[in-house]
Structure 1
Amino acid sequence: MKRYSRITQLLPWLICTLGAIFYSYEYFLRITPSVMTNELMHFYHIEDGALGSLSAYYYYIYTPMQLLVGVLMDRYGPRRLLTIATLCCVVGSVLFAATHELFIAEIGRVLIGFGSAFAFVGVLKLATIWLPRKYFALFAGLATSLGMIGAIVGDNLMTEMKNALGWQETVMISAVFGVLLALAIGLFVRDKKVFDNTPKVTSGLVNFSDALQGLLKIALTPQFWIVGAIGALLYIPASVFAELWGIPYLEMHFHFSDTDAASAISLVFLGWVFGGPLYGLFSEKIHSRNIPLIVASLASTLAFIALIVPSHLPAWSVFALLFIIGFVASGQSLVFAIGKELGPIKLSGSSIAFVNMAVMLGGMLLQPILGYCLQYFNNDYHAVLMIIPIGMLLAAILSKFLLKETACRSKDVPASVYNLKVVRQHLPSS
């Protein structure tokens, strides 16, 4: 009996972790162009703007797919969708690595983006199904951290491998790992609990018509757009700087080698690894989502300005600032908890996917925009990168004045599910 009880406690976390590994894998694939900028530009005879567009093909499909992914998750559940999505990433990686044609490489990036579109929403859908509600914000931070670990591995391991083996061979090896991961997800992930001693709040899978109507209602709710905008602006240090333009910036401005630049940029992701879960715990402790978001936005703004404004910095301070930027910006993961709390629990996939769509829209637009700005301003990184702290300052303003506080509670979950002591202390005395 004890053994069965231990299994029932561990199984939800194991299932959710397996989904999070897929998110880590897709993040590994997402940042591939950032560690191969020189190789890709030389191989395809392209410049900064075209490289930004090649990288952004991932976002061109990933971002609009979020509207459909949420509906599909709510209708069909994560197991089959995550298995197929992983295989799409594998096929896209093979195309990206096996061709000499830029057009085929772009198709490969589109397929990687298509499969990756299911990853983060699928992870959080699994968390909604399998984990107690009080752990959702914590797991959102942990899942984001695992994604960042994928980025760290990508920055460092991929740099070493492409220097030793070549960039195409490196991408092919990552495709083999994807096949093994797809098998594991198909065999072990489950869409619903086989045991549950807690009161039900969710109603399981919904029909397609209801899911589409729910998505329309979400899209017409201004608060979803506001929280999505905050998430996109706070994610810029990762989506625009760390994922693409950070390595060439460090190489050009601080004269880092490609290996040193990749190691330095990985500190942004490492900071995110530690910060994401802590923001989740902090938010639950103070029963507020807005306060941590404001702190994250203001601290990120100051840290990024400290990195790009000085004309010279010692290497140790560059490394320290990159870690701090990742750590303080990781409060961004709270926007997904807010998205879940703003909508009905049964449509949690659609709610999270809509917020994720808005977040990815920032990367989709700004990666190529910064590339063309760098061309126009003759690689003046100081001027062009000021877009990033301005965006994060705007996130602080939105969090303070326009975002409504959810107090860590879902709108359609009865108060009895939560800690009543905490709820009552906010009520006026009679």
Structure 2
Amino acid sequence: MAEHERVHDVGGRRAWLIWAVALSVYVLAVFNRSSLGVAGLLAADRFQIAATQLAFFTVLQLIVYAGLQVPVGVLLDRYGSRAMLLSGLVLLTAGQLVFAFSTSFPMAVLARAVLGAGDAMVFVSVLRLVTAWFLVRQAPMVTQLTGQIGQMGAIIAAAPLSFALHELGWTKAFGFASSLGVVLLVAVAFVVKDSPYPRKEPVRIKMRALARVLRSVWGNPGTRLGMWNHFTPQFSATVFALIWGYPFLVSGEGLSSETASVLLMVMTGWIVVSGLVLGRLVGMLPFYRSWIVITVVLSIAAVWTVVLLWPGRAPLWLLVVLVCVTGSGGPASMIGFDLARSFTPDDRLGRATGMVNVGGFVASLLTIALIGIVLDLREPGGMAEYGLDDYKAAMSVQYLFWTLGVVQILRYRRKGLRHLEREHPGAIESMRRGDPFVYPSDNGDEAPRQTL
């Protein structure tokens, strides 16, 4: 499509307005996803469940989230971000409303599954809007801002939701949370537009052709490189914020519920700050993106080693360092999506983004499940019986996934660079110089996006 056919400016005020509305949906999704982090102990009492069952809430939610990423990517490429955001909001609202009135474990599990399905549609849709509406040089920073400002939902879950649960009770607190989705449904319907270009009809894809494209996207070493860059740094922050951080700090390290909530807020605040720094580094050093991720992962592992080996309970200053360094893994995982843009044409980016997004959440759900299993094996008496040594043993399962992830990043970095040099000679030299590279679209309909 010729440049003069573009309806709206890329990177202008309209782009920022659309992004702000879509970002609000992501904040709500993160809030819903993180709400069990501060409600875990109340949920265990409300539904009379042990650690393994409590972990199952989040594991199932993440299984649904991760399992839907590829189908959502396909639907995103076909129908666009606006339709997917509206669908996600309907499911998020319904899931949280059912959760508010749940009094049995099976009903609550169903509600969390619906939440996971709605959550699965949001983040990749927002990233697609970033790709469509912002300049190439803007995209890495806007992507980081998306991930980090989105974590404000975790702050809302950490303190205000904790307060609401104690003051209003379970049903009113979660019932009010579900009503927020209705407001955002209206905002998305009136504000969000998929592209600055004229609207196209949905592209109909035959199943055989779709399978061929998915094999091609998955066979691209750049997709796998992005996935492992998402897998390795992300899960520690997710596991800590979603479910096990609060019990670890309160039941293990002996902190008050107020202090633990503040630490979760500090963690989220640090995520925003570190995201801005990492976004700047990615823009300056595109060739070294995977090494930036590995550096963050090694830092997280080092701090956890100090905490786990500390005799007795760790001092508060060390726990502050722990939550900050662990939180840096969230922004580092966003680099996986930036890598996908370097290896994937625009018309397949939804599917590639979905595959990348699977990585961190698969690691998270496996880690959450293993921590619950280890806790129950060490102390079958239930959550009230878990001590610091039990939590330390359980949290040690993280080393398995850090090791696997770093090995795979190094492996696919080599493969990805060879692939890119073969397909686009000169791209690697361009990135070494600090210039961004976005894979040219296979679709000749649209003009190349601006890079300045």
Query: TM-score if structure 2 supplies the norm length?
Result: 0.84
Distance 2:97 2:117 in 1: 14
In structure 2, what residue type is equivalent to 1:228? Answer: M
- On the 8 A contact 1:83/1:183 being kept in 2, the answer is no
2:266 corresponds to which residue? Answer: 267
1:81-118 Cα shifts (integer Å, max 9, x gaps) = 21121011000011111121211111111111111101
Query: Shift in Å at residue 208 of structure 1?
Result: 2.6
Unaligned runs of 5+ in 2: 1-6, 380-385, 421-430, 443-447
Q: Structure 2 CA distance, aligned partners of 1:69 and 1:270?
A: 30
Aligned counterpart, 1:221? 220
2:228–2:359 Cα contact (<8 Å) kept: yes
Residue 112 (str. 1) matches residue 112 (str. 2): no
Figure out how many residues of one structure are paired with residues of the other and give that number: 411
Matched, 1:207 2:208: no
Contact 1:20 1:123 in 2 (8 A): yes
Matched with 1:281 is 280
Cα distance, 1:419 vs structure 2: 6.7
Residue 130 of structure 1 and its aligned partner are, at CA, apart by: 0.7
**1:251-299 alpha-carbon deviations (Å, 9 max, x no partner):** 1222112222122123222221111232122111123222211222222
TM-superposed CA distance for 1:7, in Å, is: 11
1:152 aligns with one of 144, 150, 155: 155
**Contact preservation (8 Å) 1:156, 1:262:** yes
Is the Cα–Cα contact under 8 Å of residues 301 and 402 in structure 2 kept in the other structure? yes
Matched, 1:238 2:241: no
CA distance in 1, matches of 2:11, 2:438: 25
Instruction: Give the match for residue 196 of structure 2.
Output: 193
C-alpha RMSD over aligned residues: 2.7
3-state SS of the aligned residue for 1:36?
Answer: helix
Could you say what secondary structure the match of 2:437 adopts? coil
Q: 1:274 to 1:326 in 2, by over 3 A?
A: same
Q: Secondary structure at the match of 2:138?
A: helix
Q: Are residue 400 (structure 1) and residue 410 (structure 2) matched?
A: yes
C-alpha distance in 2, partners of 1:139/1:53?
34
Three-state SS of the structure 2 residue aligned to 1:178 is helix
Match for 1:136 among 135, 139, 142?
A: 139
Distance 2:410 2:201 in 1: 35
> In the TM superposition, what whole-angstrom CA distance separates every residue of 1:127-151 from its partner, at most 9, and x where no partner exists?
1111112222212211110221111
The range that moved more, 356-365 or 144-153, is: 356-365
Match of 2:353 in 1: 352
Select between 313-322 and 398-407 the one with higher mean Cα deviation. Answer: 398-407
* Residue pairs, 1:307-326, within 5 angstroms: 307-311=307-311, 312-326=313-327
Could you tell me how far apart the structure 1 residues matched to 2:145 and 2:224 are?
A: 24
Q: 2:80 aligns with which of 71, 74, 77?
A: 77
Report whether the alignment pairs 1:42 with 2:45.
yes
**Aligned equivalents of 2:29, 2:8: Cα separation in 1:** 33
- Closer/same/farther in 2, CA of residues 5 and 346 from structure 1, 3 Å limit: closer
- Residues 266 and 212 (structure 1), Cα distance of their counterparts in 2 relative to 1, 3 Å cut: farther
CA–CA separation in structure 1 for the residues paired with 2:43 and 2:8 = 52
Tell me: CA distance 1:127–1:295, structure 2 relative to 1, closer, same or farther (3 Å). same
Q: Report if aligned partners of 1:300, 1:392 keep a CA contact under 8 Å in 2.
A: no
Distance 1:170 1:8 in 2: 38
Distance change in 2, residues 1:83/1:417 (3 Å):
closer
Quote the Cα distance in structure 1 between the aligned partners of 2:122 and 2:81.
9
Q: What secondary structure sits across from 1:216 in the alignment?
A: helix
Q: Deviations over 1:389-416 (max 9, x none)?
A: 44334433433343235744233269x9
Change (3 A) 1:363 1:338: same
Residue deviations 1:143-200, cap 9 Å, x none?
110221111111111111111111221111111111101111111101121589xxxx
Question: How far is the alpha carbon of 1:45 from its aligned partner?
Answer: 0.9
C-alpha deviation, 1:371, in angstroms: 0.7
Could you say which residue in structure 2 is the equivalent of 1:333? Answer: 334
2:174 to 164, 167, 171: 171
Query: Match for 2:65: what amino acid?
Result: Y
- Letter matched to residue 313 of structure 1: A
Aligned to 2:395: 385
Task: Tell me if the contact between 2:8 and 2:197 (Cα under 8 Å) persists in the aligned partners.
Answer: no
CA distance in 1, matches of 2:141, 2:262: 27
Residues 271 and 325 of structure 1 are in contact (CA less than 8 Å); yes or no, is this contact kept in structure 2?
Answer: no
Whether the aligned pair in 2 keeps the contact of 1:300 and 1:329 (CA below 8 Å) is no
Larger mean Cα displacement after TM superposition, 392-401 or 97-106: 392-401
What is the distance in 1 between the residues matched to 2:64 and 2:274? 29
- 1:424 corresponding residue in structure 2: none
Q: Structure 1's 389 and 239: CA in aligned 2 closer, same or farther, altered over 3 A?
A: same
Residue 371 (structure 2) pairs with residue 370 (structure 1) = yes
Task: Determine the C-alpha separation between the residues in 2 that align with 1:351 and 1:50.
Answer: 33
CA deviation map 1:205-246 (0-9, x unaligned): 643335554223212334423431331221112221221101
- Provide closer, same or farther for how the CA distance between residues 389 and 204 of structure 1 changes in structure 2, counting only shifts above 3 A: farther
Q: Indicate the larger mover: 380-389 or 242-251.
A: 380-389
Q: Which runs of 5+ in 1 are unaligned?
A: 197-202, 421-430
Match in the other structure for 1:425: none
Letter in structure 2 aligned against 1:60: I
Task: Give the 3 Å change call, closer, same or farther, for CA 211–278 of structure 1 in structure 2.
Answer: farther
Mapped partners of 1:8, 1:277: distance in 2: 18
Given the alignment of the two structures, is residue 23 of structure 1 paired with residue 26 of structure 2, yes or no?
A: yes
For 1:256 and 1:212, locate their aligned partners in 2 and report how far apart those are by CA, in whole Å. Answer: 51
Report the equivalent of 1:9.
Answer: 12
Q: Matched residue of 1:133: which SS?
A: coil
